[in-house]
């Protein structure tokens, strides 16, 4: 769910020039809520559970949590501090730190353009399921073949994707994000309560639930593979909205007296907490109802949850509520992604808002169609022999582009502007408690791990190794 700051601040800001006075969040809670709002979305509810299920269960969870408090913590601090220090949006911010690094900002701005279309395809799936539950289709949807049949169809997925994308575009075009965000802010706590209820209900009423809980919670080190690490890292970037300039923009609106360190911890806990709950809701139920779904990937949530609701007293109602709330969370994220791309295009090419919206809408429809049809008509088009279009865009952004952006950011901080610049900015609002962790992570551990990840990804991509 997102709180759109670029709109909020546009009255007083010229984003790329950075010269004009920037408006800022009203207080500490304002900042944390807005940033946490941007972080929580389909990444937590749809993406985290399927990756955790596929790449080792408990060991994935453990690796993810460790990465979150080390990598995630350091990168988020760095991005927010860069934004607050330079008072600019990504392209200008990187350039302001060092002229030669302006291209990183450009690269970071391309990421949301690539994510938005496939995010909206998933948003379309959610819309379809919300609609299905509301119209009493639950028992149909609970059958094992339903999801597969649905995405291998042609017109249905395109229709729901276009509907979701169209709604996003209209909201951005007419600038009515505020209304949607207000609704979603109220809905967020309800969604959490609903998830807890679904978890408790499933745990109490399902006989063989224990195996699944153990699989999800208890790390099994023999299940650790290279992919556990790479996918956990990619998920971290995605879920925390890192390495795509978003947190730089957020930082640029943050007041100097608010603690970057504390806020980062809060966002981290919130974001990881929701992802953890989503996993707890989906993975044990999957193992209890239909273990063959476990490695299914992106379809996991859609394959498992209708079964859970179908077995639940009042499941049709709870299921409808659940999918509607997830839809809201997805919509606020897609709005924020689109807003980011639109304002970059407006700034960069000095175009009007309407035409920029139209360009982004057109590109997203085209790219999104590839992702839709990649599961049906073009299902034999596989990148590197295994990625359908949607999975390919997902891999390209999260496992290739974001690590590259994060790596160059680390290099920029370590060798050019020095970690002390960031530490000074963070210390403006009190003592930076974990500054040693931060320096060691940024200077040594993060870059080394990122290089390893990239080298393996490329070697695997060109078929030299199979990991």
Residues that bind ligand TRP (CB under 6 A): 2, 38-39, 41-44, 112, 238-239, 241, 244, 246, 333, 336-337
Residue closest to ligand TRP when measured from CB atoms:
43
CB of 68 to ligand TRP, least distance (A): 13
Looking at the Cβ atoms of 15 and 333, the one nearer to ligand TRP is 333
Contacts of 19 (CB under 8 A, 6+ apart): none
Q: What region does 46 belong to: left with phi over 0, alpha with psi -120 to 50, or beta?
A: alpha
Looking at the Cβ atoms of 168 and 333, the one nearer to ligand TRP is 333
Q: Max Cα separation, the chain?
A: 63
- Rounded-to-integer distance, Cα 466 and Cα 459, Å: 8
Looking at the Cβ atoms of 334 and 439, the one nearer to ligand TRP is 334
Looking at the Cβ atoms of 272 and 333, the one nearer to ligand TRP is 333
- Rounded-to-integer distance, Cα 311 and Cα 204, Å: 12
- Name which of 170, 65, 85 is nearest 120 in CA terms: 170
CA 122 vs. chain centroid, Å, equals 12
Looking at the Cβ atoms of 112 and 212, the one nearer to ligand TRP is 112
Secondary structure (3-state) at 387: strand
CB of 150 to ligand TRP, least distance (A): 22
**CA separation (Å) from 426 to 82, 356, 433?**
10, 35, 10
On the 0-12 / 13-18 / 19+ scale of CB atoms within 10 A, 153 is: middle
CB of 6 to ligand TRP, least distance (A): 11
CB of 240 to ligand TRP, least distance (A): 7
CB of 112 to ligand TRP, least distance (A): 6
Looking at the Cβ atoms of 326 and 412, the one nearer to ligand TRP is 326
Residue with tokens 């949850």: 305
CB of 238 to ligand TRP, least distance (A): 5
Looking at the Cβ atoms of 116 and 408, the one nearer to ligand TRP is 116
Looking at the Cβ atoms of 44 and 184, the one nearer to ligand TRP is 44
Q: What region does 381 belong to: left with phi over 0, alpha with psi -120 to 50, or beta?
A: beta
CB of 178 to ligand TRP, least distance (A): 16
CB of 325 to ligand TRP, least distance (A): 14
- Rounded-to-integer distance, Cα 181 and Cα 163, Å: 19
- Rounded-to-integer distance, Cα 46 and Cα 61, Å: 15
CB of 47 to ligand TRP, least distance (A): 7
- Token couple for 100: 């030669």
Contacts of 406 (CB under 8 A, 6+ apart): 75, 237, 242, 243, 446, 450
CB 368 within 8 A of CB 165: yes
Looking at the Cβ atoms of 112 and 319, the one nearer to ligand TRP is 112
Looking at the Cβ atoms of 41 and 57, the one nearer to ligand TRP is 41
CB of 179 to ligand TRP, least distance (A): 18
Contacts of 282 (CB under 8 A, 6+ apart): 49, 53, 300, 301, 304, 305
Contacts of 315 (CB under 8 A, 6+ apart): 138, 308, 309
């Amino acid at each position: 769910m997102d709180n759109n700051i670029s709109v909020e601040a546009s009255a007083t800001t010229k984003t790329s020039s950075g010269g004009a006075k920037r408006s800022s969040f009203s207080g500490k809670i304002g900042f944390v809520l807005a940033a946490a709002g941007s972080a929580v979305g389909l990444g937590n509810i749809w993406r985290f559970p399927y990756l955790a299920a596929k790449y080792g269960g408990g060991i994935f969870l453990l690796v993810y949590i460790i990465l979150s408090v080390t990598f995630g913590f350091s990168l988020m601090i760095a991005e927010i501090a860069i934004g607050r220090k330079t008072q600019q949006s990504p392209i200008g911010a990187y350039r302001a730190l060092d002229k030669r690094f302006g291209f990183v900002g450009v690269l970071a701005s391309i990421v949301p353009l690539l994510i938005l279309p496939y995010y909206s395809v998933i948003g379309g799936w959610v819309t379809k399921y919300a609609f299905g539950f509301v119209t009493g289709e639950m028992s149909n949807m609970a059958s094992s073949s339903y999801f597969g049949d649905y995405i291998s169809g042609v017109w249905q997925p395109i229709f729901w994707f276009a509907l979701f994308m169209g709604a996003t575009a209209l909201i951005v075009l007419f600038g009515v994000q505020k209304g949607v965000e207000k609704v979603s802010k109220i809905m967020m706590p309800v969604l959490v309560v609903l998830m807890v209820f679904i978890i408790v209900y499933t745990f109490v009423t399902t006989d063989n639930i224990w195996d699944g809980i153990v699989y999800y919670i208890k790390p099994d080190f023999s299940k650790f593979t290279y992919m556990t690490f790479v996918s956990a890292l990619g998920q971290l970037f995605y879920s925390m909205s890192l390495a795509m300039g978003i947190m730089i923009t957020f930082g640029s609106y943050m007041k100097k007296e608010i603690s970057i360190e504390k806020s980062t911890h809060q966002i981290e806990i919130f974001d990881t907490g929701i992802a953890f709950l989503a996993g707890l809701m989906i993975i044990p139920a999957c193992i209890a109802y239909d273990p063959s779904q476990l490695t299914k990937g992106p379809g996991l949530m859609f394959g498992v949850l209708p079964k859970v609701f179908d077995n639940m007293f009042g499941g049709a109602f709870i299921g409808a509520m659940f999918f509607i709330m997830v839809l809201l969370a997805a919509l606020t994220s897609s709005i924020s992604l689109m807003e980011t791309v639109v304002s970059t295009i407006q700034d960069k090419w000095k175009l009007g808002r309407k035409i920029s919206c139209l360009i982004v809408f057109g590109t997203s429809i085209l790219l999104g169609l590839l992702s839709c049809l990649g599961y049906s008509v073009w299902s034999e088009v596989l990148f590197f022999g295994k990625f359908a279009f949607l999975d390919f865009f997902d891999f390209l952004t999260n496992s290739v582009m974001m690590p590259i952006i994060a790596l160059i950011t680390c290099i920029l901080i370590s060798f050019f502007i020095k970690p002390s610049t960031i530490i000074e900015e963070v210390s403006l609002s009190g003592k930076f408690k974990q500054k040693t962790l931060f320096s060691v992570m940024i200077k040594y551990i993060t870059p080394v791990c990122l290089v390893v990840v990239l080298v393996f990804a490329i070697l695997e991509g060109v078929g030299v190794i199979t990991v």
